[in-house]
Structure 1
Amino acid sequence: MSGPPVISSPLSDSARAVAGSALQATLVDLLDLALVAEQAHWNLYGPRFRSLHVQLDEVATTARNFSDTVAERAAALGVAPDGRAGTIAATSALPSIPQGWLEDRAVVNALVETFATVIRRLRERIGATGEADAVTEDLLIGLIAELEKQSWMFQAENRA
């Protein structure tokens, strides 16, 4: 149910709208990233199975942990976060991962592409939130530092 915020916001209505929109889009990206990582984790095969299996667990854990932080920030601003499966399916802009068994090289390529999309979108949101809410901007900056680190690791894996 939509309506007036249950939680009062320290931000103006316009700043809350900017921050809330950035946080909601980031929440969807993170929840979908966790799902992509888990899908690949469960269906992975190939000579790099063990190292990628562990690496995908790290991606899923990071995405889940940050999604909780992002959702709680939205709630603290009086914006109801929406992490429902239907919302993720309807609004995610991440590339989908194929169904079924996935060779290690295909998984690495898929994660490189997925991280590139998430990072590009997150950098746009950082730019948009700077004036509206420095705390949200800071949260997104911390998140992108971790995602860029994981992206680097998959890109390095891609050269094998």
Structure 2
Amino acid sequence: MPNWLMKSEPDEFSIHDLQRLGTARWDGVRNYQARNFLRDMQPGELFFFYHSSCPLPGIAGIGRIQGAAYPDPTALDRDSHYFDARASAEKNPWSAIDVAYVEAFPQVIGLSLLKAQQALLELPLIQKGSRLSVMPVSDAHWQAILALRY
């Protein structure tokens, strides 16, 4: 079963928000490759919840994919930051997915610590120029990251 990493700015949506809600819609992805990864996700798969664009960027916990991807309603909402004037109810190029809370780590596994791990050198997250908000994580990388959480 594939594993994933999904990024969110914690002042917009954090692992603690997901913990409080239990389940939520993951929306607002506006990169085609990241959107395609969303569409590849299957119910039950796990993802690392990554806090980005904050004082301590890093992996804050784990979530679970709840269902198949579906058209992202924020693309049609004129009041949404993620509104896309090119999208319509008949042709919405963007996808969202429902996720559930699994675990918040006691401490964020910081990006600098991730970059210092020999076992993670090929992790797409730490590759120069990698800015995707949704990406796959290999089983080996998943296990190496889990070993850092305590």
TM-score where L is the length of structure 2: 0.24
Bigger radius of gyration, 1 or 2?
1
Higher strand share: 2
- Which is helix-richer, 1 or 2? 1
